[in-house]
Structure 1
């Protein structure tokens, strides 16, 4: 009996880490808005397909059965960000990518990888904020302390996809908790006015969430937890 227990304990110790644990150990990759010297050797940058409809660079990051992409112009400026479903599960690294001339009308905003993998953009489950005239969708996940990964959608495009924190250092977990799926104890409203995301609820001070760049991170922020490309 003792031998069996010993073997069970040994098995538990050598069991490989779960996918969630492996994912948590990987850096979160953020697409730069205006890269001054883009690293063109990155495998995340796809070669262009020969019959592309739009002359842009496709840069991608795999997320489980999804692909997060940024579409940069010729000068690597003004990227459009999308989240794509990838039901194939195939590694798309190195494949030519773009929006081809012959894309079907129901997938004009999709991206083709290689010869025949057409992926469509979608908006993940998220919180509706803003006004009926200017609605946005807000998704978030705590990355470290009071720093959150935030994705703000308008339609199928992400207006923001990056690292955010409260402008004055106030703890915003009362609203945001751990993630969109596991939020804080207080339901809140939010607005986006082009630079910051304002969170507010009755009886609580307004919290102003602002984007954080690599140079703005405090000294105690874990190194390698976030990476900016290209």
Structure 2
């Protein structure tokens, strides 16, 4: 357990987005939002006042590109970690984020489940580093996210480790169909495409979500239960 909360700064020019990130960051134990700002200039002034542990950084700021700000932050505070949250999907920006040492890169529109999962993984990594004095290669692989969970799941499946109710042939068909999807889809829509029952399709989709192969977007309407829409990663 962390001795003190992880201090978070949010750098984002959309006030609504700031409120959403702040709200959901506080839903996870061990995080505290200490500052928010909408400009790079103010961010550089605030980092030495609040000395955050983690920065949630947008790329499109009014006065400076987020990746350029990332390098400026590195000059002033090398110990801070950064997660980029942005609509930028060009290879140059992603490459620059990797070179700048970003912990993760989340693309808008943000899936809340993915947002929360990324913060949880960050907390786990931070805690592990605090508790270790030396590391093994397996630890390094975990920190740098080399051997992905999906690869591990595939290995387990080859060994016959599928849970009850999941057939490997149907699972292969579901995976293949999802590869052809460009937009999110709910279980009812996918059931019509696959020619299977709603409950069966829902079971397979939730299995893929649990294995980190798909994301879930929860849409809250004015009437009825929230809608779960599935999107391939």
TM-score tier after normalising by the smaller chain length: under 0.3
Q: Which protein has the bigger helix share?
A: 2
Q: Which protein has the bigger strand share?
A: 1
RCO greater where, 1 or 2, for CA within 8 Å and sep 6 or more?
1
